[in-house]
């Protein structure tokens, strides 16, 4: 079991990793700044893309029928560019009020980009962020985008639904999830949305994705609250009967 009630403040390891990351991004050795009519952000130097037309290119790729997700909040889809296999996520501006709120804080794409790089520095497996882009709609923030390397693995959901992960193999996946969550919690970090679709099995390692609800905590009482949410998700969602999960999802899919 993952320990409950541990004291959590931003520790020296996180502060050191943040400082190192800030210095690397400022030096622009691996990532270069985007600031033009297409928007503003950062992009990895290996991404040979026209940054002037980047929003249009992202939107075109997101029209694919292979989209992982599409709703009012976000759209996610895989894409290929030459020999590269990437994933694009667009955070959709939902309304005028939503746009006004976004003026008071940085975009979700920027936050997910920075958190992803930070987790990798801390030894937490997550797909590598390659770019983020913030656009504007008049004077208000518009859609924002993040580009990732595509993971070589598959989600626990897909592995179960396709029968590539059998019930007798499931306890090992649950144990890996507990180890991953405990590692986050030791750093004072909570994920906030632990579920089958946000965990990817890559060989013997487990990757965590969808970092939108992730929090790095300063206050012990707040950490304890969100830690409990993570732990309930591990035990009730991931720790549940995998065959019952598959049966439930098949019924839900048939009724759509």
Exposed, middle or buried by CB within 10 Å (0-12, 13-18, 19+), for 63? Answer: exposed
7 belongs to a structural domain:
no
**Are both 54 and 28 inside the same structural domain?**
yes
Q: How many CB atoms lie within 10 A of CB 72?
A: 10
Q: pLDDT grade, residue 95 (50/70/90)?
A: low
**Are both 104 and 121 inside the same structural domain?**
yes
Which of 130, 149, 168 is the last residue in one of the domains?
A: 149
**Are both 145 and 184 inside the same structural domain?**
no
Which of 96, 128, 149 is the last residue in one of the domains?
A: 149
What angle do helix axes 12-27 and 108-121 make, rounded to 10 degrees?
110
Q: What integer pLDDT is reported at residue 38 of this predicted model?
A: 78
C-beta of residue 224 within 8 angstroms of C-beta of residue 5: yes
**Are both 199 and 145 inside the same structural domain?**
no
CA distance 61 to 77: 7
20 belongs to a structural domain:
yes
Q: What integer pLDDT is reported at residue 97 of this predicted model?
A: 56
What Rg, from alpha-carbon coordinates, does the chain have? 19
**Are both 187 and 242 inside the same structural domain?**
yes
Render pLDDT for 124-147 as a digit per residue (tens, 0 to 9).
Answer: 999 999 999 999 877 788 899 999
**Are both 73 and 115 inside the same structural domain?**
yes
**Are both 33 and 96 inside the same structural domain?**
yes
**Are both 183 and 70 inside the same structural domain?**
no
Please state the rounded mean pLDDT for residues 8-20.
Answer: 84
Which of 126, 149, 172 is the last residue in one of the domains?
A: 149
42 belongs to a structural domain:
yes
In degrees to the nearest 10, what's the CA dihedral of 237, 241, 243, 249? -30
Q: What share of the chain has pLDDT > 70, as a percent?
A: 91
6 belongs to a structural domain:
no
**Are both 181 and 218 inside the same structural domain?**
yes
Question: What are 228's two structure tokens?
Answer: 């409990």
C-beta of residue 243 within 8 angstroms of C-beta of residue 178: no
Question: What are 38's two structure tokens?
Answer: 């297409």
Q: What integer pLDDT is reported at residue 11 of this predicted model?
A: 81
179 belongs to a structural domain:
yes
Render pLDDT for 150-190 as a digit per residue (tens, 0 to 9).
Answer: 999 999 999 999 999 988 999 999 999 999 999 999 999 99
**Are both 67 and 174 inside the same structural domain?**
no
Strands 74-81 and 69-70: antiparallel
Q: DSSP string spanning 96-139? A: HHHHHHHTTS--HHHHHHHHHHHHHHTT---PPEEEEEEEEETT
Q: 227 lies in which domain range?
A: 154-254
CA distance 105 to 131: 19
Q: What integer pLDDT is reported at residue 8 of this predicted model?
A: 46
Q: CATH number, domain at 197?
A: 1.10.510.10
39 belongs to a structural domain:
yes
2 belongs to a structural domain:
no
**Are both 134 and 206 inside the same structural domain?**
no
Render pLDDT for 26-49 as a digit per residue (tens, 0 to 9).
Answer: 999 999 999 988 799 999 999 999
Q: What integer pLDDT is reported at residue 141 of this predicted model?
A: 83
Render pLDDT for 221-256 as a digit per residue (tens, 0 to 9).
Answer: 999 999 999 999 999 999 999 999 999 999 998 987
Q: pLDDT grade, residue 64 (50/70/90)?
A: confident
pLDDT at 103 over 80: no
CA distances 224 to 39, 137, 160, Å, are: 38, 39, 31
**Are both 83 and 197 inside the same structural domain?**
no
Q: What integer pLDDT is reported at residue 71 of this predicted model?
A: 92
218 belongs to a structural domain:
yes
Total number of domains in the chain: 2
Which comes out higher in pLDDT, residue 96 or 212?
212
Question: pTM of the predicted model, to two decimals?
Answer: 0.90
């Amino acid at each position: 079991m993952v320990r409950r009630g541990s004291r959590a403040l931003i520790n020296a390891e996180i502060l050191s990793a943040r400082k190192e990351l800030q210095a690397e991004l400022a030096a622009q050795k691996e990532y270069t700044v985007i600031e033009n009519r297409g928007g503003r952000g950062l992009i990895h130097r290996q991404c040979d893309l026209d940054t002037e037309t980047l929003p249009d290119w992202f939107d075109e790729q997101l029209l694919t029928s292979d989209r992982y997700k599409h709703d009012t909040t976000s759209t996610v889809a895989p894409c290929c560019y030459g020999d590269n296999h990437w994933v694009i996520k667009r955070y959709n501006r939902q309304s005028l009020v939503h746009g006004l709120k976004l003026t008071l804080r940085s975009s979700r794409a920027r936050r997910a980009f920075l958190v992803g790089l930070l987790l990798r520095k801390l030894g937490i497996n997550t797909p590598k962020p390659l770019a983020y882009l913030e656009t504007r709609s008049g004077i208000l923030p518009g859609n924002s985008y993040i580009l990732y390397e595509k993971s070589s693995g598959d989600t626990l959901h897909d592995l179960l639904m396709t029968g590539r992960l059998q019930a007798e193999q499931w306890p090992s996946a649950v144990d890996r999830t507990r180890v991953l969550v405990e590692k986050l919690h030791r750093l004072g970090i909570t994920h906030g949305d632990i579920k089958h679709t946000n965990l990817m099995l890559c060989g013997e390692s487990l990757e965590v994705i969808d970092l939108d609800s992730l929090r790095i905590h300063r206050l012990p009482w707040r950490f304890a609250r969100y830690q409990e949410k993570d732990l309930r998700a591990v035990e009730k969602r991931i720790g549940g009967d995998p065959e019952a999960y598959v049966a439930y999802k098949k019924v839900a899919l048939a009724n759509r």
